[in-house]
Amino acid sequence: MEIPFVGRLRELESIRDRSKLQQVKPHFIYGPEGCGKTRLFIEAVRRFSEWFDDGLAVYVNAEEARDPRRIFYIAVGRGVRVSRGVRDLVASAIRAALDYLGVPEASLSGSAVALAITPILERFYLKLKLSGVQRILLVIDEPARYIEVKELNGYAKTLYNKMSFRWEGEAFYGRILNIYALTSEGLSRDLLSRHSYVGQDFVWNLSREEYEELYHRLLEIYRPENPSRIAGFDEVWRLYGGNPRRLMELAIEHSWDVKTHLERIYDEKKIPRIVYVAKKEGLLDKLRAVTEDPDNIYKMHGMLELINILVRENLVIEMPSGRGIGGVEIPRDRGLGIGRYWAWQVPVYRELVARALEEI
């Protein structure tokens, strides 16, 4: 069962408003792991066909390695005429990808499609003769995980070129084409931020109000076997700070039992190993300082090695200087481990690292 989508109204509105015009650059969307980037953009793709009669929205999941039918998610507006015989848009997109890549269906992966997405999208478009399409929203989910850092610039530039220059006779000529790439991969961020052909946007975890709504929805759907074990909302907020993935895990996989969930996170995030590595490299004091205040990453010297570890493991994230997508304010809350410049992605990561530091 799918959990109803909550909140994110301003984010959706911003995606809709931007779709009215040709944007100059592709936007890379950053945000903590599990904060809801994928869900937000799937929702935008769904609504795109309601927002725009002349819209075509395509979502590509670069992380899908097994089932080709799960690589694409496509929606078209009511005013778009799909040529007869082609009912299944996804099947047709898969055929375009197979054609272009020249691989058998069994070996079609989301990452290969994401890498070659612009020519594949063009083939798909030309094959279907989608008349009535005036605007296209293309969302590529997590391409940066599969592209070497040194090649990421070239990739972003290709997307930029496709948005900026289209010759007469080419697919999408005279159409609006806006592209978003979603990424939880923080190491690419510095690199891309140096270039004027990439825009960056930020999505933070859910706000307290949105999170509370999700909490109550989940409580209705996943009634715990043992109600006395349910974590109250205040505790959930303090531990997970608005991160929807962690809340879903708590409700579904751990029947609201915080204790077993935290043990799982401790293992999953390899926290003892990170603390061990920090000790070996002489970084323990620095790591402790980051648990006290994540902005110490910014304030102290010699942090580079530690940043690389913490960013790679998706424990901390660099904060944007402005607001998030849609002008949403990003909270600065020391109690939740969110500083001005850096933040723990989920408050409990800090707590678990601090605990491991005590034990070493």
Ligand X SMILES: Nc1ncnc2c1ncn2[C@@H]1O[C@H](COP(=O)(O)OP(=O)(O)O)[C@@H](O)[C@H]1O
The residue written with tokens 């200087």 in the block is 321
Binding of ligand X by 7 (CB under 6 A): yes
Binding of ligand X by 214 (CB under 6 A): yes
For the bound state, the minimum distance from the C-beta of residue 311 to ligand X, rounded and expressed in Å, comes to: 15
**How far, in Å, CA of 335 to CA of 247, rounded?**
19
For the bound state, the minimum distance from the C-beta of residue 29 to ligand X, rounded and expressed in Å, comes to: 9
Question: Which of the 8 DSSP states describes residue 70?
Answer: G
DSSP 337-359: TB-SSEEESSHHHHHHHHHHHHH
Considering CB distances under 5 to 8 angstroms, the limit depending on partner class, which of Mg ion, ligand X, none binds residue 245? ligand X
Q: Which stretch binds Mg ion (CB under 5 A): 36-44, 76-84, 113-121, 268-276?
A: 36-44
Which position among 38, 118, 205, 291 is part of the footprint of Mg ion (CB under 5 A)? 38
For the bound state, the minimum distance from the C-beta of residue 226 to ligand X, rounded and expressed in Å, comes to: 24
Nearer to Mg ion, 19 or 38 (CB): 38
Calculate the CA dihedral of residues 192, 198, 204, 207 and round it to 10 degrees: 170
Phi, psi of 337, rounded to the nearest 5 degrees: 75, 25
Binding of ligand X by 6 (CB under 6 A): yes
**How far, in Å, CA of 331 to CA of 320, rounded?**
11
**How far, in Å, CA of 54 to CA of 67, rounded?**
29
> Strand, coil or helix: what is 152?
helix
For the bound state, the minimum distance from the C-beta of residue 7 to ligand X, rounded and expressed in Å, comes to: 5
> Strand, coil or helix: what is 18?
helix
Q: Give the per-residue contact string, 12-51, with ligand X (x = CB under 6 A; - = no).
A: -------------------x-xxxxxxx------------
Residues that bind ligand X (CB under 6 A): 3, 5-8, 31, 33-39, 184, 214, 244-245, 248
Residues that bind Mg ion (CB under 5 A): 38
